[in-house]
Structure 1
Amino acid sequence: MVNVSIARRYARALLDVTAESQRTDAVATQLASLVQAFEKSAELSDVLLNPAYSRSQRAQVVESLIQLAGNLEPVLANTLRLLVERNRLIYLPDISRVFRDMADTRAGRVRGHVTSAAPLSPATLEQLRKNLQQATQRDVILEQKVDPALIGGAAAQVGSVLYDGSLRTQLEQMRRQLKQQ
């Protein structure tokens, strides 16, 4: 992350404008898609971030990108143009992340990660989400990861709280207890 305060400033302004039109979630989705496009395409990243290209060349690429997207929210298209104009396009991934976090906070959502030794069934994942929602008193959005090193069980992190029910952690606790005796 280059400079959080710059990303926060743009994200807050974008959030304020999208909240008025109640298009926050749509803009967050489109913004994340744009960041993915930049990350997946080395050529696109190079043109947009390399100082060897002029501002007008970057503006042309962004306009083409806006046209290709087709139904891009007007406020997001204007934000992209503003970022090009002010040479701030490099902050787009940070703006996207901060925007998503601010939108989640405003909507009363919290993001979490659940890591398990094997993929969880949709029903199990939904039950876990409901339990975490009850524990946090907030709407929980879970992302699933698989880590065979856990041996069994699962670990869920919501915000800064870690709920660890993995077999690896339980074995480690037993090992420590046996060592102490």
Structure 2
Amino acid sequence: MGAKRVDAEKVEAYTRALLEAARSEGRANADLVQWQHAQKFTPEVLETLAAMQREDDLDLVEAVAKQYKELLDAQDTTVSVTVTTAVPMDDELRAKVRAKTEKDLGAPVYLVERIDPAIIGGIMLEVRGKRYDASVRAQLANIRKTLSSTFIEGEEH
């Protein structure tokens, strides 16, 4: 099956799902207008909206937009840092992470905390689109890669 055929099928599936949902809520034309504007959204806006949807927080969109404008107008220099740990951080670790990131960035920091048991342990930081991964999962992956390249390349048959 060609890529264009697959794309056409995906487009139709998405379109029909959107149309069915919109019709059931009596807002098909309103959704069409929103959909036409959706392509103008940046990936960050789409990601934030998806996160708000997952958390059932779409009722906060207006408040977020208002605060966004206020922070933008105030030229707030606070940097958002996403911190992912395997278990919730305690106050001591939170303070250390905040102090270290504020020192490194030279700016106040707002911590967004995420918990992901899949990282096993350690910490991952995401700052300004860059990821710093000091998780146990990443360390194990590096060890596995090093060992496999050492033994595979070093084996004699």
TM-score class, shorter-chain normalisation, is 0.5 to 0.7
Determine which structure has greater relative contact order: mean sequence separation of CA pairs < 8 Å that are 6+ residues apart, divided by chain length: 1
Give the superposed CA RMSD.
Answer: 3.1
Q: When the two structures are superposed, what TM-score results if normalisation uses the length of structure 2?
A: 0.53
Partners of 1:136 and 1:100 in 2: how far apart? 23
Change in CA separation of 1:138 and 1:178 when aligned onto 2, cut-off 3 Å: same
Structure-2 separation of matches of 1:176 and 1:114: 25
Equivalent in the alignment of 1:68: none
Q: Distance in 1 between matches of 2:62 and 2:137?
A: 38
Partner residue, 1:115: 84
In the TM superposition, 1:10-159 aligns within 5 A as 36=57, 38=59, 92=62, 95-96=65-66, 99=69, 102=72, 106-159=75-128
**What is the TM-score with the length of structure 1 in the denominator?**
0.47
Count of residue correspondences: 100
Shift of 1:137: 1.1
**Structure 2 portions without partners, runs of 5+:** 1-36, 43-56, 151-157
2:141 counterpart of 1:179: no
Specify which structure has the higher proportion of helix: 1
TM-superposed deviation, 1:102: 3.0
Quote the residue 1:164 is aligned against. 133
- Per-residue deviation at 1:93? 7.7
Task: Tell me the percent identity.
Answer: 23
In structure 1, stretches of 5+ residues that fail to align are 6-35, 40-90
| Larger CA Rg, structure 1 vs 2 | 2
